[in-house]
């Protein structure tokens, strides 16, 4: 259990700088302090971290299978079985978190990689936002 806690502690230390930043990890600007922008930042972080965690969980499970298959004593087989079960449970938890983030994205209509633009009541042809930053920013016009 202490190994798990240390691993979660290290993961939180790696993710903490992303949570404190004012931009998402992909470098696009996030305007304003709204819950939708926070959810967009969390989704961007999860889209980077989750595939890495899935890969690690699959490798851990494969390592358990190899450990189980090459074990000569029942104690070593029990340890391999424990590693396999832990890897499968970890993989299930990771995929569940990824699914929860996807449900939140679709529920709240969060745009990936850009701003959430309110187009209600705008006049056709007016600028309602920009894609990109700096001199290469392209205006987004109301339809």
Question: What tens digit of pLDDT does each residue of 52-83 get?
Answer: 988 999 999 999 999 999 999 999 999 999 99
CB 71 within 8 A of CB 82: no
Confidence label for 47 from pLDDT (cuts 50, 70 and 90): confident
Residues 93 and 58 occupy one common structural domain: yes
Please check the confidence at residue 97 and state whether its pLDDT lies above 50.
yes
Residues 123 and 81 occupy one common structural domain: no
Residues 87 and 124 occupy one common structural domain: no
Render the burial of 4-40: b for 16+ CB within 10 Å, e for the rest: eeeeeeeeeeebeebeeeeebeeebebeeeeeebebb
Residues 106 and 66 occupy one common structural domain: yes
The residue among 103 and 23 whose pLDDT is bigger is 103
Residues 33 and 92 occupy one common structural domain: yes
Residues 96 and 135 occupy one common structural domain: no
Residues 98 and 141 occupy one common structural domain: no
pTM: 0.50
Residues 24 and 74 occupy one common structural domain: yes
Confidence label for 38 from pLDDT (cuts 50, 70 and 90): confident
What pLDDT is recorded for position 58?
Answer: 93
Domain around 70 = 2-112
The residue among 48 and 135 whose pLDDT is bigger is 48
Please check the confidence at residue 136 and state whether its pLDDT lies above 70.
no
Residues 67 and 93 occupy one common structural domain: yes
């Amino acid at each position: 259990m202490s190994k798990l806690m240390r691993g979660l502690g290290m993961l939180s230390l790696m993710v903490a700088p992303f949570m404190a930043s004012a931009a998402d990890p992909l470098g696009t600007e996030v305007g304003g302090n709204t819950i939708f922008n926070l959810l967009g930042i969390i989704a961007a972080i999860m889209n980077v971290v989750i595939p890495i965690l899935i890969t690690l969980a699959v490798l851990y499970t494969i390592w358990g299978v190899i450990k189980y298959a090459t074990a000569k004593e029942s104690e070593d087989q029990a340890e391999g079985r424990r590693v396999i079960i832990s890897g499968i449970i970890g993989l299930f938890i990771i995929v569940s978190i990824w699914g929860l983030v996807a449900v939140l994205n679709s529920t709240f209509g969060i745009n990936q990689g850009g701003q959430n633009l309110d187009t209600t009541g705008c006049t056709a042809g007016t600028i309602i936002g920009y894609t990109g930053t700096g001199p290469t920013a392209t205006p987004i016009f109301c339809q």
